[in-house]
Structure 1
Amino acid sequence: MARGTGQQTRSEAVHDRIRADILGGRLRPGERLKFPELSERYGVSTGAVREALLKLVAKNLVSSEAHHGFQVTDLTERGLADLTDTRTEIESLALRRAIGEGDLAWQGQVLAAHHTFEQTPLAGEDGDEPGEAWLIAHADFHTALLAGCANPRLRDLAASLREEAELYRRWLRPTPGAHDPADPAGHDEHRELLDAVMTRDSERADAALRRLIGFTAEMVLDTESPA
């Protein structure tokens, strides 16, 4: 029993590290993920690496093909279109449920997460946009929005789709005009979404969320030099 628990713990730890390296750009889209190299890199057994990769396959951050092994999910415009369509429908449903089921404490959580997000600079310390702190604050706000939904499976599915979208966000560059130059972080849209949640206006919230998710679809994949 203890051995199984230890193996599970190691698998979860390496899962978190591989996920962070993928979302952080240290493992690039399309990069092959070989057991011996990952085992040495993270200091765990190949069994723990395999378990971690299988979990990441379920989250669509890693792909697997027979006779080709595992690789970081490659990014395509078709994949982005399908992801955006699915994510829009699932998150919209979860948000509507959250507005109908969430209590006052949930609204307070959303308000606090939005305040942190709005006060977080878009650019990171190295001048890159968006910065790590902004990405975290942005993800936390969207997580808080759906926390009022009472269905944990729906929340988990929405979170998985949003995390896959973050992989695209890391490697896509905005199309000129996709955001208002005066509001590159989309704060106006996020405020609109916040106001709709505070007044429990599900129609208005749905429209604002769909616009925000649509921004990702307006990005163009830079296949030659991801940045």
Structure 2
Amino acid sequence: MSSPTLTDKVAKMIRQDILKGDLRPGQKLVVAELKEKYCVGASPIREALVQLSWSKYVKLEPQKGCWVAPVSKEELNDLYESLRVVSSVLLKKAIAMGDETWELEVLTSYHKLSRIQNVVEEFDSAEWEERHQQFHIALLEGADSKNMFEFFSDLINQVKRYRFLALSENSLSDDLFNIDEHEMIMKLVLAKNSEQAAELLDRHLHGSMKRIEQVIEAA
């Protein structure tokens, strides 16, 4: 059995290739081909694929094979509907319970997000997505709700695959980089305006879903 460290490394490489679009939704994953691509043995490849199936990046069917998980409008809607519900609850709890350390983290994560758009000379959409996800995580980390936050983390990691898919469409990418909405959410959160903050966050998530829908419908 291969070491967990090697399995994790291989899983990370495959996951990144799925996010970048090098491995496309619905593409069959053949162990022999992946061995050659990543220069590792069959065992860590198989274990990595099982690991990625837990996070729903990969679809495994016993005796049939393995594929990059397909995408669908139905799954996208379900993910975002769940994300909108849990995000609203967590945000209101975070605003009610969050301390100064949490407020500083919200401000810092927003600052890092805004800098990549306003300061970095060559815009990096993949880095934006990483900082964008961290901003959403920071918003909700102040809520003292471990199980609900774990559910949120699982959802946002599944949604990430759809957001990266949308980035492959240059005509839609700019719509996903709306710093103004993030600034307003940040200001409402720090002002402890929980109702308006939750309402704007919900609109933001719904808008993102609708823009990604266009990519799926056009495919």
| TM-score normalized with structure 2 length | 0.84
| Aligned position for 1:196 | 188
Q: Which of 70, 89, 93 matches 1:97? A: 93
| Aligned position for 1:166 | 160
Matched-pair contact (CA < 8 Å) for 1:63–1:70? yes
Tell me whether 1:84 sits opposite 2:84 in the alignment.
Answer: no
Can you give the 5+ residue segments of structure 2 that lack an aligned partner in the other structure? Answer: none
Deviations 1:154-212 (A, max 9, x none): 22321221122121122235998x95xxxx62222212210122122221221111111
Matched-pair contact (CA < 8 Å) for 2:29–2:66? yes
Deviations 1:91-138 (A, max 9, x none): 22222232233211111011011011112128x9887xx712211221
Give the counterpart letter for 1:78 in structure 2: E
Tell me whether 1:109 sits opposite 2:109 in the alignment.
Answer: no
Query: CA–CA distance in 1 between the matches of 2:33 and 2:182?
Result: 42
| Aligned position for 1:41 | 37
Deviations 1:43-76 (A, max 9, x none): 3332322222222222222122344322111111
Give the counterpart letter for 1:205 in structure 2: A
Matched-pair contact (CA < 8 Å) for 1:23–1:167? yes
Q: Which of 11, 16, 20 matches 2:12? A: 16
CA gap of 1:186–1:69, structure 2 versus 1, over 3 A, is same
Deviations 1:14-50 (A, max 9, x none): 1111111111221111111122222332233323222
Tell me whether 1:211 sits opposite 2:203 in the alignment.
Answer: yes
CA gap of 1:23–1:117, structure 2 versus 1, over 3 A, is same
Tell me whether 1:72 sits opposite 2:64 in the alignment.
Answer: no
Give the alignment of 1:134-145 within 5 angstroms: 134-145=128-139
Matched-pair contact (CA < 8 Å) for 2:79–2:155? yes
Quote the RMSD (CA, aligned, Å): 2.7
Query: CA–CA distance in 2 between the matches of 1:32 and 1:169?
Result: 21
Matched-pair contact (CA < 8 Å) for 2:6–2:44? yes
Give the alignment of 1:116-131 within 5 angstroms: 116-121=112-117, 131=125
Matched-pair contact (CA < 8 Å) for 1:125–1:131? no
Can you give the 5+ residue segments of structure 1 that lack an aligned partner in the other structure? Answer: none
Query: CA–CA distance in 2 between the matches of 1:72 and 1:126?
Result: 31
Give the counterpart letter for 1:153 in structure 2: N
Matched-pair contact (CA < 8 Å) for 1:77–1:221? no
Identity, % of aligned positions: 29
